[in-house]
Amino acid sequence: MAQDEKNHVKDKQLMSKMLYQMVHEHKTVDINGRERQVTGGVSQEEIEFIKSLIIERKCRTCMETGVAYGISTVAICEALSCLGSGCRHYGIDPCQYSEFNGAALAALKECGLDRFFEHLDGPSHEMLPKLLDRNVKLDLAFIDGWHTFDYTLLDVFYADKMLRPGGILLIHDMDLPSKRKVWGFLKTHRRYKRIEYMADKSKFGYLINVFKGLFQAKRSVVKKAILGLIGIDRLLVLEKVENWEPNYNYFKNF
Ligand SMILES: C[S@@+](CC[C@H](N)C(=O)[O-])C[C@H]1O[C@@H](n2cnc3c(N)ncnc32)[C@H](O)[C@@H]1O
């Protein structure tokens, strides 16, 4: 069996059928049963990491901005299903019907995971204050909505208000300068500590991963390792240390 084929067999064993279809075959089905091509979303490595983080840390209440076809949404709800009843995942997306024709909702239903999920149909700057108003407390927040600095900052601002100390904040697409600027804000204006995402963070480790990815013919592994080599992980993983905000007259450039 060719190496590429062997990898696909291994991936199939590791992932649920739904996630495998979305991530590797780039297809899913919308609420009208029409096939849709999946563009974008978290990678297999990110899925595995996010799922194990939720399970290990028992993150029973989660929230994400940016649902799209629902790769991250299905992954999060799969992890919640391992933690038993009473878990909840809130997903915010203004385009779930208009652009994706309910594809994420259809995928969750197909997997029997819809009982964990609540869709908030609107932009995050309107929906997050509603969650805050409902006194929702979060164990994990995944930020992957509108990627500009201002919207990401607002997502993080509200997520921080709902995250309990010890909770996890994930920010996707850190290769974008807008996202890294928000990380600068967090470093100077809140108390978070970074959790290393890749198991091996040394430059040598990244280099090994480049070769591993090339050998396994996995472009996503190669890309992530190269980004790691130059100091950028696509997924930023943070743990909230404590509820803390600077004084009203504090200012620091970031
Ligand atoms: C990169 S995609 C999300 C991918 C998804 N997390 C995954 O892994 O499958 C970004 C999503 O953000 C949504 N979006 C756009 N503007 C938004 C806003 N103001 N608030 C929340 N989500 C928004 C888009 O509709 C799109 O579905």
Question: Could you tell me which residue, 207 or 116, shows the higher pLDDT?
Answer: 116
Assign 218 to helix, strand or coil.
Answer: coil
What is the CA(144)–ligand 1 centre distance, in A? 6
What is the CA(66)–ligand 1 centre distance, in A? 3
- State the sign of the Cα–Cα–Cα–Cα dihedral 149, 152, 157, 158: positive
120-148 pLDDT per residue, tens: 999 999 999 999 999 999 999 999 999 99
Q: Is the CB of 167 under 6 A from ligand 1?
A: no
Distance (Å, whole) CA 143 – CA 153: 10
Beta 235-240 vs 27-29: how paired, if at all? unpaired
Residue 243 pLDDT more than 90?
A: yes
Q: Is the CB of 206 under 6 A from ligand 1?
A: no
The reported pLDDT for the residue numbered 197 is 75
Q: Is the CB of 66 under 6 A from ligand 1?
A: yes
Question: Structure pTM?
Answer: 0.90
Q: How far is CA 32 from CA 36, 93, 106, in A?
A: 11, 19, 9
- Strands ordered across the beta sheet of 61-65: 117-120, 88-92, 61-65, 138-143, 163-172, 235-240, 192-194
Q: How far is CA 39 from CA 53, 90, 100, 229, in A?
A: 25, 22, 11, 26
Measure CA of the first residue to CA of the last residue in the chain; give whole Å. Answer: 52
Q: Is the CB of 123 under 6 A from ligand 1?
A: yes
CB contact at 8 A, 76 and 92: no
Q: Is the CB of 151 under 6 A from ligand 1?
A: yes
Cα Rg of the chain (Å, integer): 18
Q: Is the CB of 108 under 6 A from ligand 1?
A: no
The reported pLDDT for the residue numbered 4 is 59
What is the CA(140)–ligand 1 centre distance, in A? 17
Distance (Å, whole) CA 100 – CA 22: 14
Q: Is the CB of 150 under 6 A from ligand 1?
A: no
CA within 13 Å, CB half, 57: 23
Q: Is the CB of 155 under 6 A from ligand 1?
A: no
Nearest atom within ligand 1 for CA of residue 64: 6
| Domains of the chain, start order | 41-197+233-240 (3.40.50.150)
Residue 253 pLDDT more than 70?
A: yes
The reported pLDDT for the residue numbered 228 is 80
Ligand 1 mutation pick, 44, 51, 65, max ligand atoms within 8 A of CB: 65
How many CB atoms are located within 10 Å of the residue 79 CB?
Answer: 23
The reported pLDDT for the residue numbered 218 is 84
